[in-house]
Amino acid sequence: MKDSKMHSFNWVRSRKRLCSRKPTVQRRRRLFFESLESRRVLAAVNWDGGGDGTSFLDPLNWDSDLVPTAGDDAFIDVAASDPTINVGGTASVNSLTTNEAIVFSGGTFTVGTTVEVNSAATLSGGTIVGATITGTAALAATSSGGTLDGVTLDGNLDVTSGTASLTVSNDLTLNGQATLSYDDAIYFNGTQTLGGTGSVVFTGNAQYSALVVNPNDTTLTIGPGITIRGGSTNGSYYSGAVIGRSDYKGGGSNSHVILQGTIDANVSGQKLYVRTTGNFTNDGTIKASNGGLLGVDKLQGDLGTVAEVVGSTVSLTGNYTVNEPVVLSSGASLTLGGTWSNVAGITTTSSTLHLAGAFTTANVGTIDGSGSTIAVTGTRDNTGGTVVMDAAANWVVS
């Protein structure tokens, strides 16, 4: 009986404990959402010509009835006709592909990736920013000018229309060929690099033509993959083919050129000038070939590499040291002007070497002149040295 009461008491006490517990409350979990940047899927926008049929900025010319924007890939291909598309104001696209002729006549055309041009393309006062220009057609400059700003040009650049010009800003990567002819110019506006694997050619009779470094106190670096060649029948800083400052086309004061690529005066009887108002530095190769004539002004520091001069002419001025061997052959001519010294040696065969400018006899260095004429015409300081005259050469001292 006692046990029965005990069990009854324990059961009652346990039930009281259970009943006295607070009910369990199930808490709701809060959901947190991470905010992501807004994104727009690139859209393909096609030309339908439903507006005026020519203006890039007419929204009715596009199948969306909206002018393409920076997030769009624009396509122009008109099978029934051949309109010339005019970009006459400010616009932005991700890319542009056109199989029709196009003119950049004004405003700024900003491109995220590529412009593929498979018909005539003309720069006539407009600015192209950031594009990699590809396709089968050359980009042609006009007398109205225009600007390439941070552009990569995988095709060709035609600057040959006579008084044609364009301005380059924020570097130009040239992987094709840029061609200049009579009275044409490319202006490099500000310190920058002409890079890539292409070439610049002064062609035909490229009188009054120039690659101009502008404005004051700026430097143009010609990259290691670039070759500049050609020349002009006129041989002066005013009327000739000039790199740096042209007396006709202009250029900045205290402007510099650094060569990492190649400059080659390679047209018989034509002259190509490197002329700076600051310094010219040769970290690449200078040469004259095929009977061409190369003039280099304000060369500073080491002469650097001069390719073998065969039947051609090189004239130097500045303040420099012949630090690598120089070879002349087959009727070549080399003039050492300015203030110079020779520590690497000069070898001439059936050629002419002019020791002009100002030099000391102690710094004339080694000259081997088999069958050549060595003309000593410069101002000589005879202190502390003598010149060993190679008996195989004809020495003319004046």
Whether 92 and 66 have beta carbons less than 8 Å apart is answered as no
State whether 217 and 362 are in the same domain.
Answer: no
Average pLDDT, the chain: 91
pLDDT one-digit tens code per residue, 187-228: 999 999 999 999 999 998 899 999 999 999 999 999 999 999
pLDDT one-digit tens code per residue, 365-398: 999 999 999 999 999 999 888 888 888 999 999 8
State whether 315 and 278 are in the same domain.
Answer: no
Residue 375 Cα distances to 116, 251, 295, 350, 372, angstroms: 56, 34, 18, 13, 10
pLDDT at 148: 98
State whether 331 and 362 are in the same domain.
Answer: yes
Rg (CA), the chain: 36
State whether 228 and 377 are in the same domain.
Answer: no
Assess whether pLDDT exceeds 50 at residue 16: no
What are the structure tokens assigned to 266, written together?
């390679």
Q: Which of 247, 275, 305 is the last residue of a domain?
A: 305
What predicted TM-score, i.e. pTM, was given to this entire model?
0.89
State whether 292 and 324 are in the same domain.
Answer: no
Assess whether pLDDT exceeds 80 at residue 27: no
pLDDT at 126: 98
Whether 13 is covered by a domain: the verdict is no
Whether 283 and 262 have beta carbons less than 8 Å apart is answered as no
Assess whether pLDDT exceeds 90 at residue 39: no
Whether 8 is covered by a domain: the verdict is no
Give the separation between CA 114 and CA 196, rounded to whole angstroms: 16
How sure is the predictor about 105, in pLDDT bands with cuts at 50, 70 and 90? Answer: very high
Q: Which of 256, 284, 305 is the last residue of a domain?
A: 305
Smallest Cα–Cα separation from 116: which of 131, 126, 105? 131
How many domains, in total, are found in the chain? Answer: 2
Residue 386's CB: how many other CB atoms inside 10 A?
9
Whether 344 is covered by a domain: the verdict is yes
State whether 52 and 160 are in the same domain.
Answer: yes
Assess whether pLDDT exceeds 70 at residue 58: yes
State whether 288 and 330 are in the same domain.
Answer: no
State whether 297 and 319 are in the same domain.
Answer: no
Q: Which of 260, 283, 305 is the last residue of a domain?
A: 305
Whether 11 is covered by a domain: the verdict is no
State whether 296 and 310 are in the same domain.
Answer: no
State whether 354 and 292 are in the same domain.
Answer: no
Strands 373-376 and 313-322: unpaired
pLDDT at 30: 56
How sure is the predictor about 1, in pLDDT bands with cuts at 50, 70 and 90? Answer: very low
Query: Could you list the residue range(s) of the whole structural domain that residue 160 is in?
Result: 47-305
Contacts of 279 (CB under 8 A, 6+ apart): 256, 257, 298, 299, 300, 301, 318
pLDDT one-digit tens code per residue, 296-345: 999 999 999 999 999 999 999 999 999 999 999 999 999 999 999 999 99
Whether 105 is covered by a domain: the verdict is yes
State whether 195 and 270 are in the same domain.
Answer: yes
Whether 246 and 273 have beta carbons less than 8 Å apart is answered as no
- What is the average pLDDT across 34-49? 71
